Structure 1
Amino acid sequence: MSSATTTAPRRTAPTRQDRTPAPALFLTLIAVCSAVTAANIYLAAPLLSLMARDFGSAPSAVAWIASVAQLGYAVGLLFFAPLGDSANRRRLVTVLTLVTAAALGASALAPGVGVLAVAVFVASAATVIPQLLVPLVAERAPADRRARHVAAVVAGLFTGIVGARVLGGLAGQAFGWRWVFAGAALLTLALGLATAAVLPSLRRGTGSFLSGPAALPSVLRSSPDLWRACVRQAGMFGAWSALWTSLALLLTGPAYGLSTATAGLFGLFGLTATAVAPLAGGLVDRFGAARVVRTAYGLAAVSVPLFWLGGHVLAALFAAAVLIHAALVASHVANQTLALTATSTPATANTAYVVASFAGGAGASALAGTAYSHFGWVGVSVVAGVWLMLGWGLSWSRR
């Protein structure tokens, strides 16, 4: 896997309408918006016990809500993210912001699990704004600093994920899970519209709602680099999702008996990802994506047995959480940078990459929920290990 032979992403010539703030301010705003919108996908994970109590169900009976969120995100990416190669980004981000905020508000008012699942699915499908912004950042970045610019957005994205788990758990314990969704709706509305206001208001080609999905097979066939990035990140993200979406069940269950708020604080270990992202970006710019991905997979392979041991030993769980987040973010920065530079249609390629990643995450999360119900935390650890092996092994099926 080499990024040296890839095609640079298409750049758009500046126009009168294509005006943005200073580069540092623009990148910061995009990173913050990515943090807020990415958090929407993971709001449910730390709140599963509270939801179950409210609806009179067992926690394992509502665990699938976390998988619904990831599946919804993958579906939204499939249809909306490719439009970044052709549509007016400002209008698209505005519409998606409004839909996301409305769906989050509906989640807060949901009378039952079924309605909640539908609202979470719609919110997650519409909250694809970060993946419309990342190709723009890659297009505008200097070639020798592209991975570092992508890493800045990735750092924001993972900060949002950590915030969803930590602040979501604390706020849920203090005010109830419904207020968490209501607050997320307001934040999404504010940051999404602020970001849309500074985006280029420019239509750059022709495209339709179905043109992106239709183009994905040919894009994947034409680029082995993109194929490997997709498959490897699907394996990595699946392993992370299996462990992280089930972790609240372990921490609030008989093994540890923690409250929802205390379990949510465990997500602070995810700040490892925010710290690792800039380092990973610099390493990708210097040594290439392949070496960084290999190292990340090695870290993840070490974390799985530590997670298994963490079912009874808290210190092992701490170490495993740091390793899996470092592995995930390093792999993500490397693979996404490769995907964004693998073809002349970066938004479509990025769609293929993130859809593969989140489809892998949704599948692993769903299987992990079943495994936890039947085999406990050991079953979840096995699912994570299998997903890593599949991701690495299948990536070599095309050369």
Structure 2
Amino acid sequence: MTSRTPSPSRTASLPESRSESLPESRTESLPKSLPGASAAADQAHPGGLPPRLFLVLIAVCTAVTAANIYVAAPLLPLMARDFGSTPSGVAWIASVAQFGYAAGLLFFAPLGDRVNRRRLVAALSLATAAALALGATASGATALAAAVLVASAATVVPQLLVPLVAARAPAHRRASHVAALIAGLFTGVVAARVLGALAGQAFGWRAVFLGAAVLTAVLGLASAAALPREDQRRGGPLFAGLAQLPGVVRMSPELRRACIRQGGMYGAWSALWTSLALLLTGHGDGGYGMTTGAAGLFGLFGLAASLVAPVAGGLVDRFGVARVVASAYVLAAVSVPLFWLGGQRLWALCAAAVAVHAALVASHIANQTLALTTTSTPAVANTAYVVAGFAGGAMASALAGTAFTHWGWHGVCAVAAGCLAVGWGVTSLRTRR
């Protein structure tokens, strides 16, 4: 007597092109299984940790590793004084971190589908820690920039862990588990900007780099040890995942939609948030005349993202991706006129900062959950998604800088509004077609 239960090999993977036949309304419900999903997702992980403790460890590791991308930015004045330069003379070091992270996303993040994650997470964590430690001993801006480039390229551990957590989560709790990691990521970004600046003022920027190196090594190795064992991984060329990117994006309308919409949302956020310091520290009619330290404390509004993340994850699990993304876009659209009014009213600026962070994280959780569940190669799809968002943010930041120079804060708000219009309008037209 033969069983009609489908074999694991037939249910373990989903065809990459299956999303072509799904209408827009089907994105309201996410698939109940993912490639590599464990049938015992609610049981203890092979690493020996209970599920809740495992999730907490991975979220904390995500926070620390994400902070490494932004750790140099608030320390630039201290670095300039140490190297006998000016803050504008070393400001390019922060940009190097962004380019390094982009390179790491392209080359390392797709490896999650092909190699053992335990070894990969451990190796990247040690490489990041070593680069940060070398950066702490740098005698000049060039040597420091080289160390920051390597550290930021290797600190892509969060984008290796998010697909794994999503794959092993129960179907009805998947977005909530992803939200826990996103909350950790945004907490790390805030900590890098606020706590990094305070610690640097008290102990020096070199001590901050050494502390980041120690935390990265300890949490990275602990997370690697707690990850489930993966004895069978796909063979083939090591960087085949990078070559797969165009095909995976082309075959999945849902992934393209997630990439475009998050690129528009992240672009709007980047345009406003990266230009905000110019408004806060400016004098006369073009600013509030705050000190650099006081302006830096505005970063605490980023904590709104960490608080909203668990709520957003639950809403995605309950109402689906499409509704949450649409609501996030509405909230972001409301924040733009508030930011415009914030050019003269500080209360409007504070309200807008909370609203745009809440919109960003809600959209991010929904779109990333969709990206992770729409193909049979979640690590490759996640790479495409994150790179698309990063590209949208980078282009918007460049446009916002030019807009502020020519048209002031109102020009920045116009760039943000344009990003939202493109992100939503392009995908809406494609959906109708």
Q: Shared fold by TM > 0.5? A: yes
Higher alpha-carbon deviation: 359-368 or 338-347:
359-368
**Cα distance change of structure 1 residues 53 and 352 upon mapping to structure 2, 3 Å threshold:** same
Higher alpha-carbon deviation: 110-119 or 266-275:
110-119
Say which SS state the counterpart of residue 311 (structure 1) adopts. Answer: coil
1:103 deviates by: 2.2
1:113 deviates by: 4.0
List per-residue Cα deviations over 1:47-69 (Å, max 9, x = no partner).
34444555566655655544432
**Cα distance change of structure 1 residues 93 and 286 upon mapping to structure 2, 3 Å threshold:** same
Q: What is the TM-score when the length of structure 2 is the normalising length?
A: 0.84
CA distance in 2, matches of 1:7, 1:214: 28
**Cα distance change of structure 1 residues 230 and 245 upon mapping to structure 2, 3 Å threshold:** same
CA distance in 2, matches of 1:184, 1:261: 21
State the match for 1:221 in structure 2. Answer: 250
**Cα distance change of structure 1 residues 314 and 208 upon mapping to structure 2, 3 Å threshold:** farther
State the match for 1:339 in structure 2. Answer: 371
1:106 deviates by: 3.4
1:233 deviates by: 0.8
Residue 216 of structure 2: which of 156, 168, 188 is its match? 188
Residue 90 of structure 1: which of 106, 111, 118 is its match? 118
CA distance in 2, matches of 1:247, 1:260: 12
State the match for 2:181 in structure 1. Answer: 153
Asked if the contact 2:30–2:320 (Cα under 8 Å) also holds between the matched residues in 1, the reply is: no
CA distance in 1, matches of 2:360, 2:89: 28
1:316 deviates by: 1.8
Asked if the contact 1:88–1:204 (Cα under 8 Å) also holds between the matched residues in 2, the reply is: yes
State the match for 1:165 in structure 2. Answer: 193
Asked if the contact 1:80–1:209 (Cα under 8 Å) also holds between the matched residues in 2, the reply is: no
List aligned pairs for 1:8-27, cutoff 5 A.
8-11=33-36, 18-27=46-55
Asked if the contact 2:31–2:171 (Cα under 8 Å) also holds between the matched residues in 1, the reply is: no
Asked if the contact 1:64–1:369 (Cα under 8 Å) also holds between the matched residues in 2, the reply is: no
Residue 288 of structure 2: which of 256, 261, 272 is its match? 256
User: What amino acid sits opposite 1:241 in the alignment?
Assistant: S
Residue 130 of structure 1: which of 147, 151, 158 is its match? 158
Higher alpha-carbon deviation: 353-362 or 83-92:
353-362
Q: Unaligned stretches of 5+ in structure 2?
A: 1-23
Q: Does 1:352 align with 2:384?
A: yes
1:348 deviates by: 1.2
CA distance in 2, matches of 1:131, 1:381: 30
1:385 deviates by: 2.5
Q: Does 1:270 align with 2:338?
A: no
State the match for 2:262 in structure 1. Answer: 233
1:160 deviates by: 0.9
Asked if the contact 1:67–1:363 (Cα under 8 Å) also holds between the matched residues in 2, the reply is: no
1:101 deviates by: 1.4
**Cα distance change of structure 1 residues 136 and 83 upon mapping to structure 2, 3 Å threshold:** same
Higher alpha-carbon deviation: 168-177 or 92-101:
168-177
User: What amino acid sits opposite 2:194 in the alignment?
Assistant: V
List aligned pairs for 1:234-383, cutoff 5 A.
234-254=263-283, 255-373=287-405, 375-383=407-415
CA distance in 2, matches of 1:119, 1:383: 33
CA distance in 2, matches of 1:224, 1:375: 37
Q: What is the TM-score when the length of structure 1 is the normalising length?
A: 0.91
CA distance in 2, matches of 1:374, 1:67: 22
- Structure showing greater Rg: 2
CA distance in 1, matches of 2:184, 2:413: 28
**Cα distance change of structure 1 residues 66 and 383 upon mapping to structure 2, 3 Å threshold:** farther
Asked if the contact 1:76–1:124 (Cα under 8 Å) also holds between the matched residues in 2, the reply is: yes
CA distance in 2, matches of 1:52, 1:374: 28
Cα RMSD for the two superposed structures: 2.6
CA distance in 1, matches of 2:91, 2:409: 14
The answer to which structure, 1 or 2, has the higher relative contact order (CA under 8 A, 6+ apart) is 1
**Cα distance change of structure 1 residues 60 and 304 upon mapping to structure 2, 3 Å threshold:** farther
1:23 deviates by: 0.2
Higher alpha-carbon deviation: 3-12 or 297-306:
3-12
1:197 deviates by: 1.4
1:75 deviates by: 1.8
Say which SS state the counterpart of residue 336 (structure 2) adopts. Answer: helix
Q: Unaligned stretches of 5+ in structure 1?
A: none
Asked if the contact 1:49–1:260 (Cα under 8 Å) also holds between the matched residues in 2, the reply is: no
